Amino acid sequence: MTEQKDTLLTRPSWIEIDLGAIQENAQSIMAHAGAKRLIAVVKADGYGHGATPVANALYEIGVRDFAVATIGEGIKLRQELAYQDYRIVLLGVQDIAHVDVMVKYRLSPAIESIDWLSVALQAIPEGATLDVELAVDTGMGRMGAHSKEAVYSVYRYIKNNDKLELGGVFTHFATADDSNIGYYKQQAQRFNDWVTAAGIPRQYWHLANSGSALWHTQEIDTRTIRVGSVLYGYNPGAPLLTLPIPLKHVFALKSRIGAVHQLITGESVSYGATYTAQKPQWVATLPIGYADGYLRRMAGMRVLINGKVTYVIGRITMDQIVIALDQAYPIGTEVTLIGRDGDNEITVEEFADYANTIPHEILTSFGPRLPRIYKK
């Protein structure tokens, strides 16, 4: 925390994360989906929020399963979390060369084939076990056993091997957060058929990503849910679908005015001189730019100052942006780039929409130069 504060003081642009809101969102989505267990997806550094503080906050409310994408993310979490009695699932395809590391740090890889497992066995020391998650590809096309027979034979192989432990069986939906119900139902049906035929008990099943836990609780088993987006408080189906439950906003992006100037009529701002003052115009410079994840295509975006709306003018540069002012403001005045200020709010969804992308991409693009400040 001290280190964060020092960094903040030297360059006043930062991210605020509300960990209490993450805890509340976890509880809300479990209640809504009727879930007994939650696997918290904290890949990509907790969708940009900081995997370790997020996982610690969720541990406090009883979460004991976390999911990341890479071995590196898994090791970091294992080393940094204050507790030890929890699982770490690796969601992506993993290089067979690093099975020893997975055993050492007790990481549970998603696996899809007997080929992979048979090579893995040679790297598991006597007396040790590798906890694995059986991935089933029902239509996402990224990874997983891809037929009834494949699911059956991989499951048998795990059961018949002392060095292998089954942690879970899962699939991932391609269309949980859009209106393509037909494709969703086909995936759900395949999982149900294949996994039931293999005889894998229900306690191992986890299918629901955020979209499923929000909008498909009737179509699939939701006793265990495996979610990311909803924890971080945004709508993965925006703008097409509306949320069935309220989620608390978690993320805010803020900066402070570093310099204030008055342009005279005809003067311009930033590279390319794309913005020109039509009358005497107060402007302020903020110490944040596209190298921080305030993307170049955010030129013209809304920002909030003293609860009022104003705009980014001219081009976004690597480290600085310029905003229009209605009057001179003191150096150090706080500006909200994402979040609430008085009656106005800029949501992550609005920000992403302006950038022509989805909130996931925006949140994972904010760089390490921006300190994360945590509150509860």
> Do residues 287 and 318 make contact, with C-beta atoms less than 8 angstroms apart?
no
State yes or no: is 104 an active-site residue: no
**Min CB(41)–ligand PLP separation in Å:** 4
Q: Select 212 or 255, whichever has its Cβ closest to ligand PLP.
A: 212
> What are residue 135's DSSP bridge partners?
170
DSSP assignments along 269-298, one per residue = ESGGG-EE-SS-EEEEEES--GGGT--GGG
**Min CB(1)–ligand PLP separation in Å:** 28
Q: Select 53 or 144, whichever has its Cβ closest to ligand PLP.
A: 144
The terminus-to-terminus CA distance of the chain in angstroms comes to: 14
**Min CB(184)–ligand PLP separation in Å:** 13
Q: Select 61 or 331, whichever has its Cβ closest to ligand PLP.
A: 61
233 in the Ramachandran plot: left (φ > 0), alpha (ψ -120 to 50) or beta?
left
Helix residue spans in the chain (DSSP H): 2-10, 19-33, 43-47, 51-60, 71-80, 99-104, 114-123, 148-159, 181-198, 210-215, 348-354, 359-363
What are the angstrom distances between the C-alpha of 142 and each of 82, 111, 167, 185? 33, 12, 20, 18
CA–CA separation, 41 and 228 (whole Å): 5
Within its chain, how far is the Cα of 52 from the centroid?
Answer: 13
**Min CB(143)–ligand PLP separation in Å:** 9
In three-state secondary structure terms, 223 is: coil
Q: Select 68 or 312, whichever has its Cβ closest to ligand PLP.
A: 68
Within its chain, how far is the Cα of 194 from the centroid?
Answer: 30
Residues in the site for ligand PLP, rule: CB under 6 A? 41, 43, 91, 172, 209-211, 226-229, 236
Q: Which residues of 316-338 are buried (b: 16+ CB within 10 A; e: fewer)?
A: bbebbbbbbbeeebeeeeebbbb
**Min CB(44)–ligand PLP separation in Å:** 8
Q: Select 190 or 226, whichever has its Cβ closest to ligand PLP.
A: 226
- The two structure tokens encoding residue 363: 């949140």
Q: Select 210 or 347, whichever has its Cβ closest to ligand PLP.
A: 210
State yes or no: is 43 an active-site residue: yes
Strands 302-305 and 308-313 turn out to be antiparallel
Amino acid found at 289: G
> Do residues 171 and 200 make contact, with C-beta atoms less than 8 angstroms apart?
no
**Does 302 show up as a binding residue in the annotation?**
no
From 43, 232, 234, 275, the catalytic residue: 43
From 5, 36, 104, 271, the catalytic residue: 271
**Min CB(283)–ligand PLP separation in Å:** 38
List residues with catalytic annotation: 43, 271
Binding-site residue ranges = 142, 318
Binding-site residue ranges for substrate = 142, 318
